[in-house]
Amino acid sequence: MRFFYRNTCRREFPSLDLLRLQSINALPEVITIKQVHQIVDATTTLRMRTYFWTVYSLGLRLNEGLHLQVGDIDAARGLVHIHRGKGAKDRYITLPTSTLLMLREYWVTHRNKRWLFPADGRNHTLAKKGVSVAKTPMSEAAVQGAMKLITTKIDFGKKVSLHTLRHSYATHLLEAGVSLKFIQQALGHSSLQTTMIYLHLSETGEANARQVIEKIFVR
């Protein structure tokens, strides 16, 4: 409102000078590597277990994980191509071996030609002769509901969501010595300042990112 009446449609309202926005520097919740494994191990279906591990080990946003496609996986180079990132920005992410193996294990259960996480449909109606014919990925509500059930049961004493896995990915890499610049690129942040907002738990350092990723994301 202050911007509108000061710049767009100018009005001399003295009360605008009294407006002050409180500066809130809320830090994101993160969980430990052990707690991430607890969540994954508590997941009862291969689909959700694979999705949770993929989102965590690649540092993905919820929808980036849901919209992963078969062609996005470059197993030969150990990379994942994110086409549909925030702001329509493409990026490549290092693919841990554990994640590749888990994705392969899950894919053979549905063999959808396009989606890595296809919609299942009511009563598995989107599968014909064991092959998924879904034209859309599974829903946000499905993965959010599964996460809520699991974290409520485990109860870490803090609010944990799918985005918590992304924050934890970045923090765990940072603590392991991976450079802030690498983490910025992996997360798809335009500005390094954005990355620094919540990567605050340890000093950054240089490290062989591939070796660190393989060490952290082991199943």
Rounded distance between C-alpha atoms, residue 135 and residue 146, angstroms: 22
Identify whether the C-beta of residue 164 lies closer than 8 Å to the C-beta of residue 29. Answer: yes
DSSP string over 62-91: HHHHHT-BGGGEETTTTEEEE-S-GGG--E
Q: Which of 47, 49, 61, 67 is catalytic?
A: 61
Mark whether 198 is an active-site residue.
yes
Mark whether 91 is an active-site residue.
no
Q: Which of 47, 67, 172, 189 is catalytic?
A: 189
| Residue 197 CA: distances (Å) to CA of 24, 166, 170, 189 | 12, 14, 11, 11
Tell me the one-letter amino acid at 120: D
Q: Which of 77, 86, 89, 104 is catalytic?
A: 86
Rounded distance between C-alpha atoms, residue 204 and residue 189, angstroms: 17
Mark whether 166 is an active-site residue.
yes
- Going by C-alpha positions, the residue among 85, 150, 98, 215 that lies closest to residue 106 is 98
Rounded distance between C-alpha atoms, residue 46 and residue 172, angstroms: 24
- Going by C-alpha positions, the residue among 196, 204, 198, 195 that lies closest to residue 175 is 204
Q: Which of 49, 166, 167, 172 is catalytic?
A: 166
Mark whether 189 is an active-site residue.
yes
Active site residues: 61, 86, 163, 166, 189, 198
